[in-house]
Amino acid sequence: MTVTTVRVPAKVNLELSVGPVRDDGYHDLVNVFHAVSLFDEVTAEPADELSVSVEGPSSVPTGPDNLAARAATLLAVHLGVAPRVALHIRKDIPVAGGMAGGSADAAAALVACDALWGAGLDRETLLELGAQIGSDVPFALLGGTAVGLGRGERLTAVEVTGEFHWVFGYADGGLSTPAVYAECDRLRAASGRTPHWPNVSDDLMAALKTGDAAGLGRALDNDLQPAALSLRPALDSALAAGRELGALGSIVSGSGPTCAFLASSASHAGELAASLARTAHFAEVRQACGPVPGASLV
């Protein structure tokens, strides 16, 4: 094989229940991931040495810190080969937007290099390698809708009926995930409340199982949202604008600052996207649906 291309989706968290901070600095989660139809594409081509090029925002690092580069290196070490590959990333997922764009690129690089190097690793091994790179990488491999436990990397697929229709509002500039978790800890400490043990809502699971968009809209919940709002107060009015314009639910996606709005149908999502684009809240407004499959060769 001389070149491989992998398409990989963004995620939104339908429920992000964050427990207390652990000794290793991570938080135990119950994390309901949902893959949506906003995609990055990663191409892997044989080369003399590892390199990364990016088409899209200039803020993506192209050195060894790039998560796709780390994934290729980790896979090469696992296989005992040299990472002689040129990775090209075509970005459409917002950078530092709370939609796991970097993790998606890592997942895509694993799948692309596995095919390029003819390794044929099984899904379990790719999931384990992915978890070493980041908490959200295994879900980008799996796609669909899934509950993640532990750091979010221990996944169980969730049964979903039909499709859900979404509008995403991208902010100007990202938020750092560690900074948002740290702010969550700070707010909790300041309130004097002990963090709850993370759990998953029965209403959310029932809405997914029956394809009930209104029920899903009511059940959306993100424990990181107060922290994201504390760091970026303007998100509060952005979320309110979506509700006023008829969204079934409005939520910060993961650690933010992307805002996710649930619509009742594709046409409702189109109307909502057009209305939100006319407000001054977002740098860009996008329409998508979910669930969609995880990282796949194209």
Residues near ligand C5P, by CB under 6 A: 26-27, 29, 134-136, 151-152, 177-178, 181
CB of 99 to ligand C5P, least distance (A): 12
Q: Measuring CA to CA, which residue among 251, 203, 243, 248 is closest to residue 224?
A: 251
Closer to ligand C5P by Cβ: residue 29 or 205: 29
CB of 275 to ligand C5P, least distance (A): 33
Write the CB contacts of 253 (distance below 8 Å, at least 6 apart in sequence). Answer: 12, 13, 97, 98, 99, 168, 222, 259, 260
CB of 136 to ligand C5P, least distance (A): 6
Q: Are strands 85-90 and 51-55 parallel, antiparallel or unpaired?
A: parallel
CB of 13 to ligand C5P, least distance (A): 11
Judge whether 209 counts as a catalytic residue.
no
d(CA 146, CA 154): 10
CB of 270 to ligand C5P, least distance (A): 33
Closer to ligand C5P by Cβ: residue 43 or 103: 103
Q: Are strands 249-252 and 259-263 parallel, antiparallel or unpaired?
A: antiparallel
CB of 28 to ligand C5P, least distance (A): 7
Judge whether 11 counts as a catalytic residue.
yes
List 28, 136, 221, 223, catalytic entry: 136
Extended strands (E) in the chain:
4-21, 27-46, 51-55, 85-90, 145-149, 154-157, 164-170, 221-222, 249-252, 259-263, 284-290, 296-297
166-197 burial by CB neighbour count: b if 16+ within 10 A, else e?
A: bbbbbbeebbebeebbebbeeebeeeeeebee
Closer to ligand C5P by Cβ: residue 126 or 272: 126
Closer to ligand C5P by Cβ: residue 100 or 213: 100
Write the CB contacts of 278 (distance below 8 Å, at least 6 apart in sequence). Answer: none
Please answer whether residues 184 and 227 qualify as being in contact, where contact means their C-beta atoms are separated by less than 8 angstroms.
yes
Closer to ligand C5P by Cβ: residue 134 or 174: 134
Q: At what angle do helices 266-278 and 234-244 cross, to 10 degrees?
A: 130
100, 120, 188, 194 from 21: Cα distances, Å: 21, 37, 11, 11
Give the tokens for residue 118. 């003819």
Closer to ligand C5P by Cβ: residue 199 or 265: 199
Q: Which residues are catalytic?
A: 11, 136
